[in-house]
Amino acid sequence: MQQYKDLPAMTINTTILAFALTLTGAAGFYCPPRCHCKSSLRQVECHNLNSTQVPHCDNTTLILILNDIWISSLRNDSFAGLSQLENLTLSSNTLSHAEKEAFEPLENILSIDLKGKMLYLDNLEPAFCHVSKTIQRLCLNRYKGRKTAEFQTPRSSLLRCLNGSDITELDLSYNSLHTLPDSFFSGLTKLQNLILRDNHIAFRKETFVGLNNLRLLDLRNNHLSQIPNFGNVTYPFCPNLLELHLAYNDISSLNSADFISLKYLQRLDIGWNLLTKFPNNMFEYMPELQFAFLQHQRNLKEIQDLAFASASLFHLDISINNFQFKDANSDVFSHAPHLQELYMSDNHLDKIDDAALEKLFRNLTKLRKLIISQTRLTHLPPKLFETKPFLRELQLGSNQLSSLDPVVFQSLFSLQMLYLENNLIRTIYESSLPPFVWKNLTKISLAENLFSCTCDNFWFRTWMDTTQTTIVALHQRNSYRCYEPKELAKSPFLDWHPSKAQCTPLPAWVIASAIGVSIMLFLALVTVVSHRYRWYIRYWCFTLRSRYKRLEPFENNGTFVFDAFVSYNCHDRHWVIQRLLPKLEYDAGFKLCLHDRDFIVGHDIVDNIVDALEVSRKTILVLSNNFAQSQWCQLEMTMAQHKLFDENKDILVLILLEDIKPENLSNRLTLLLRKQTYIEWPREEEGQDLFWERVKAALQKPYGHGTL
């Protein structure tokens, strides 16, 4: 039996007796009609019986549950024969009173739970005097949510007959109690749990006197405007109280002295009140306090630096306070070094700078759980969690985070649960969190983010399919959706299946090789084009260079310096000097431009060629095999042709000195000879006079000349 020493006595007794009855055989256990029974537990459970009496039950019944029956009164014989009954639960819409000896047959009763719409406590007082002293739990409630407009003020003698009993728990919730007499509970010396929630009690100064063994006191939703009186250091009313529930009241202020007699208190719930300030040292007289619930203070305006000072505090809940943290609040947690769980969602952290925010949590080195959801965070400072090696759960949901920086999480070696739902996150990379965080995570929530269904999320989408980590709300409709690109907007994220080939970047060597090959092909193409069109290119380059090189552009206004520029190969110079020059210049009066005579010494050859073409009315090409094989002659021919195209004038005079061999004919020269009329030099002397007449006619009459 040593292993059961810490269990409530009624649980031990019920367990042992049920086990013993099971061994002796439960086959003969009687179950009333329209009821459900568990013979192994000796339990009878009846619902919605259209009866005004307690059904007849087996006399070995241990547990009797009667819900929604129509019993208005408990008679003296209602429980006749149920001497072994330990647990009685009875709820009735009409139950209003009990006869004096109604509970007397219940010699071994441990728990009585009565609920009724018309239940009045004073009507039960006579019956309490015949309740067995074995009673440990007594619950007397009206139905939750059905409080009448009439308040009850029970007589001071209501519980007197229970004095000296073993009762450890008393529940008087939902009874519309208004006033309780002084020392009302003082005779219940073994009382440990007192539940008075959802009444309207105006506690007197000594209501709780004598509750030396009380461990839990529940005063929720009683319209309290101040903390009740629990005595003082010298005369504490509840010296061993461990839990105090004061939530859902109208308390607007508190002081550390309100709890001066509660030195063993471990759990304080004062949430959902009207506190305007968390004052310094409010836990000063509660050296054992571990849990403090201060959430939802609608009027909270101030948190003083030492408000949460406590060497014992383990859990603190200040959520839903809409409190605006500022730089001046950066020390409020500095004096709670053993805090392990901090709930502060639905407050505002957007007006505190990064340094102050980092300082706010810096001293919480033992923190295991941090909830800062819905705090308007737009980013996480780099050192926000640097002193949190033991943090296991981090909730950052419903903020405005758009990205994750692995530096922020680099100290979270114990992180197992991460909540990031309802933020503005578009992409999750493998590098968004340190590798050890991905490895340690057992649960992650990323629902309701603005996911990009592009290759940026390829790693994350693949990870979702392969991870053993629990992804919260993964298969809930609309929890994970695409928000871009436009064609996938609002489609389920899980329906997007990117391929590795589509999203895996090419290796660097492939990219480098492709670039190298492209450059080589480009250079080869440039080389081929340059060679094929080298004369065009050279002509235009040198024409532009020549034009830009001049300080002023040349303007001839229709008057040229030369009648013709003569383009010939040096091997044909003898023919030009001995034959062409005398006939055209000396005899006919034409002024010719010759390389040897008229080019400006010291100028670039191409510049001279361009200048000669510009200041000459015509260009004579002296064609021969030597001419066809000369690059300079080819350049002069090309330049002359382009001038022909540009000015749309017949400026070329072609003289063919000899038949040109096919191997010497370029495409350009071949095309020129096919399309342009040329004058062929006759070897016979008889034809030469006609030749010169044709040349002169091609040059036309000489112009007035200027000087080069």
Q: Which one has a higher pLDDT value, 52 or 335?
A: 335
CB 702 within 8 A of CB 591: yes
Output phi, psi for 492, to 5 deg: -60, 135
431 SS3 class: helix
Edge-to-edge strands, sheet with 562-567: 592-593, 562-567, 616-623, 652-656, 678-680
pLDDT over 50 (residue 344): yes
Partnered with residue 59 across adjacent β-strands are none
pLDDT digits (tens, 9 = 90+) for 355-384: 999 999 999 999 999 999 999 999 999 999
> What letter represents residue 666's amino acid?
S
Average pLDDT of the chain, as a whole number: 87
Q: Which one has a higher pLDDT value, 123 or 5?
A: 123
Count of residues in the chain: 708
What is the Cα–Cα distance from 641 to 536, expressed in whole angstroms?
A: 10
Q: Give the pLDDT of residue 4.
A: 35
**For residue 473, is it left (φ>0), alpha (ψ between -120 and 50) or beta?**
left
Region 307-330 average pLDDT:
96
Residue 38 is inside which H or E element, if any?
strand 35-38
Contacts of 157 (CB under 8 A, 6+ apart): 125
Asked if the peptide bond before residue 485 counts as cis, ω within 30 degrees of 0, the response is yes
pLDDT over 80 (residue 124): yes
Confidence of residue 303 (pLDDT cuts 50, 70, 90): very high
pLDDT over 70 (residue 12): no
pLDDT over 60 (residue 259): yes
pLDDT digits (tens, 9 = 90+) for 686-703: 888 889 999 998 888 554
The residue among 382, 368, 367, 317 whose CA lies nearest residue 347 is: 317
What is the Cα–Cα distance from 593 to 648, expressed in whole angstroms?
A: 22
pLDDT digits (tens, 9 = 90+) for 437-453: 999 999 999 999 999 99
Q: Give the pLDDT of residue 300.
A: 96
pLDDT over 70 (residue 253): yes
What is the DSSP secondary-structure string of 288-334?
A: T--EEE----TT--EE-TTTT--SS--EEE--S---B--GGGTTTTT
CB 423 within 8 A of CB 375: no
What is the Cα–Cα distance from 653 to 700, expressed in whole angstroms?
A: 11
Region 40-47 average pLDDT:
94
pTM of the shown model: 0.70
pLDDT digits (tens, 9 = 90+) for 631-675: 888 888 888 777 766 666 778 899 999 999 989 888 888 888 888
Every domain of the chain and the residues it spans: 1-206, 559-699
CB 289 within 8 A of CB 265: yes
What is the Cα–Cα distance from 330 to 353, expressed in whole angstroms?
A: 10
Region 196-221 average pLDDT:
93
pLDDT digits (tens, 9 = 90+) for 578-612: 999 999 998 889 999 998 888 888 777 777 888 88
Q: Give the pLDDT of residue 706.
A: 36
Confidence of residue 245 (pLDDT cuts 50, 70, 90): very high
What is the Cα–Cα distance from 697 to 700, expressed in whole angstroms?
A: 5
Contacts of 227 (CB under 8 A, 6+ apart): 246, 251, 254, 258, 259
Region 45-61 average pLDDT:
91
**For residue 160, is it left (φ>0), alpha (ψ between -120 and 50) or beta?**
alpha
| Class in CATH terms, 1-206 | alpha beta
CATH architecture under which domain 559-699 falls: 3-Layer(aba) Sandwich (3.40)
What is the Cα–Cα distance from 244 to 267, expressed in whole angstroms?
A: 6
Name the percent of the chain lying above pLDDT 70: 89
